Structure 1
Amino acid sequence: MATLPSPVTEPSAGPNPLAAIVSGAALTTIADVITTMEAIDQLLPDNDGLKWFNRLYLMVTRQVDTNPPAGAWQDPTWLLHLDVVFAGLYFRAIRQYLAQDTATPTAWSVLLEARHLPGIERIQFALAGMNAHINRDLAVALVQTNLDLARDPQEDGPEHTDYLAINDLLDAVMPQALEMLSAGPLGEAAEDSGKVGRLLSSFDIRAARDAAWDFAGVLCDLDGFARDAALSAQDVSTGALGRALLTPL
């Protein structure tokens, strides 16, 4: 099996415009999140793997903002707060990595170390980002949101109904996203050879989101060292999957 080449070290000299974007972001609304993602999208060149996860995430976030399910969100306060907290974890991971912070989640380091490497397809970067953000960050965002809003969501409650509705938005976005991520000779060759289908089958978004909801419940029942240990173990396993997703095909 092919292995990842050595990661490219981020340059440390001079101001980093990506760091400036994610450090200057004051997130209070979903519009703030979209503005920050748009700035990242405009900054990053096409040969930067982070661009393709960010572009996919931006597409989904715009859908959440403009296309609520029929009958509207059942608990928009909870859902939009979750979206802001969730995106904040993504921006924080970028800040941490660029600052060479040892607290950078492994799940994110795997992607950020590989973002400039050749031979990795756009869809791989997008899926590796979704892996890090859903499998590592989403449970953390759920716990924080419920603490912030003093909520105890149940599976038959409005919060979980809205949470599941995001799956339908993801389904709506994916055809357009796959067309975008398969652009260019490398992506077209991967799609023609069936590699894209195999990649997609290796990462089940709905199952990952269901697992994140359950893991948030586990974290809520833990505290102190036990919670940190559980999150650390989840981060390590998520990083391992990220490496597999980024292995040149």
Structure 2
Amino acid sequence: MLTDPEQMNRWSTARIEVREPGVGDRPDGVGTLRTVTLPGGRAKLREIVEYSDFARVFDYRVYDGGPALLDHSGRQEIAPTATGCTVTWTVRMRLVSRVATSLVARTVRRQVAESLDLLADLKPGDPASAPTVEPRVVADLAEPRRVARDVLARQHATADRLTAADDPKQWFARVYSYVTDELIGVCDRGDVDNPDWVLALIPVFDEYYTRNLIAFERGDQCEPMWQTAWSTCELRDDRNPHVPVVKGLMSGVAAHIDADLPRAISDLHLAEYADRDLREFRPDYLRLSPVFSTASDRLLDDLPRSHKPWWTGIAARVHPQIRDALIARQGYDVQRHRFSAFAAAVELAS
């Protein structure tokens, strides 16, 4: 009644639709994607189911609610009582300003209360079958962390080599190493549920990246998107030096996301995680989205003044999520392409 959209739409003041089922093809399994249309029909939220302890705890998070919504997550908890059960529904949200957060939270609180009142008066549907959940084995991270740090050291060395040669490919090589560094940091901080999976992806990504860079430097044919990326990275413009830098970065990011991400995720899954549903890892994958923004900010700090786009000073005063949304409208939409890349990986792995 609380988590299956077909049942939820009997009582929820917001319309809930399954965009893609999660683990076990369930409408409430981990990794399920849902679209929530708020009352009035003008605003939509896109959610992902992050955790489910069936019949007790259910967690979800909004991964796309527009640039003004910085954070929005919910937890539904069920506790048995002598005469039935108590439902506790906690919603946490943060918008770009405190005033906006307070106003929207007040509205959401009222709508949730109205919805639960309707739910309490409904006759339950047929009991749902409990999902089969395999106990998660906590992986030893020592070896995958060592391998990831070795990869990071090689990537730093590559960026240093290109920098010493005044090779303009240095900028993408540097930001690539920052992405790897940030991925390791996410795992070290415990920001993901499956750090072993994230760490194991790093050397798989690196294999595609390094192989294509070596081929390009030797004059051999490399894969089409990487051929375009490295060629773009080598462009120079003495009058507007920031232009080829930005174009090279965007071209390299496109090669990494569009060409490498789907096959890297699929390859790793089939090699090491074939006994698990790939959709189980989608919440962690979406949690990694800020890594690209953070890596880009680090690179901007490295760029000489002449190589920085004119808008960087203004962008630094704007929240990264709003800034990324504005940039996406003008060029390559990182978040949209990352989203598509995971869907492509699921298709490849199946």
Q: Tell me if both proteins adopt one fold, taking TM over 0.5 as the criterion.
A: yes
The alpha-carbon distance between structure 1 residues 169 and 98, as it changes in their structure 2 partners (threshold 3 A), is closer
**d(CA) in 1 for partners of 2:328, 2:341:** 20
Aligned to 2:292: 170
The alpha-carbon distance between structure 1 residues 107 and 34, as it changes in their structure 2 partners (threshold 3 A), is same
The alpha-carbon distance between structure 1 residues 206 and 198, as it changes in their structure 2 partners (threshold 3 A), is closer
Displaced runs of 4+ in structure 1, greater than 6 A?
Answer: none
Larger radius of gyration: 2
Deviations 1:51-102 (A, max 9, x none): 1111111112112212438644311222111111011110011122234443
**d(CA) in 1 for partners of 2:191, 2:230:** 36
Pair 1:37 & 2:155 matched: yes
Gaps of 5+ in 1: 1-26, 222-249
The alpha-carbon distance between structure 1 residues 98 and 28, as it changes in their structure 2 partners (threshold 3 A), is farther
The alpha-carbon distance between structure 1 residues 41 and 220, as it changes in their structure 2 partners (threshold 3 A), is same
Pair 1:216 & 2:216 matched: no
Aligned to 1:226: none
**d(CA) in 2 for partners of 1:34, 1:143:** 22
**d(CA) in 2 for partners of 1:78, 1:188:** 35
Aligned to 1:82: 201
1:9-28 → structure 2 map (5 Å cutoff): none
1:133-212 → structure 2 map (5 Å cutoff): 133-151=256-274, 152-155=276-279, 157=280, 159-181=281-303, 183-189=304-310, 201-212=330-341
Higher helix residue share: 1
The alpha-carbon distance between structure 1 residues 173 and 118, as it changes in their structure 2 partners (threshold 3 A), is closer
**d(CA) in 1 for partners of 2:212, 2:181:** 21
Pair 1:115 & 2:233 matched: yes
Q: How many residues are treated as equivalent by the alignment?
A: 190
**d(CA) in 2 for partners of 1:86, 1:169:** 15
Confirm or deny: 8 A CA contact 2:159 2:173 kept in the other structure. yes
The alpha-carbon distance between structure 1 residues 172 and 28, as it changes in their structure 2 partners (threshold 3 A), is closer
Aligned to 1:57: 176
Confirm or deny: 8 A CA contact 1:111 1:125 kept in the other structure. yes
Deviations 1:122-168 (A, max 9, x none): 2222111111111111111011101110334443x2x2222112112
**Aligned-partner residue type, residue 83 of structure 1:** I
**Aligned-partner residue type, residue 64 of structure 1:** L
The alpha-carbon distance between structure 1 residues 186 and 174, as it changes in their structure 2 partners (threshold 3 A), is closer
Gaps of 5+ in 2: 1-144, 238-242, 316-323
Deviations 1:187-210 (A, max 9, x none): 34575899x975773111111111
Aligned to 1:240: none
SS at match of 1:121: helix
CA offset at residue 179 of structure 1?
4.0
Q: Which moved more, 1:46-55 or 1:87-96?
A: 46-55
Confirm or deny: 8 A CA contact 2:187 2:195 kept in the other structure. no
**d(CA) in 2 for partners of 1:193, 1:173:** 18
Give the RMSD, CA atoms, in angstroms. 3.0
**d(CA) in 2 for partners of 1:66, 1:81:** 14
CA offset at residue 180 of structure 1?
3.5
**d(CA) in 1 for partners of 2:329, 2:264:** 25
**d(CA) in 1 for partners of 2:186, 2:200:** 17
**Aligned-partner residue type, residue 300 of structure 2:** L
**d(CA) in 2 for partners of 1:170, 1:111:** 17
**d(CA) in 1 for partners of 2:313, 2:285:** 34
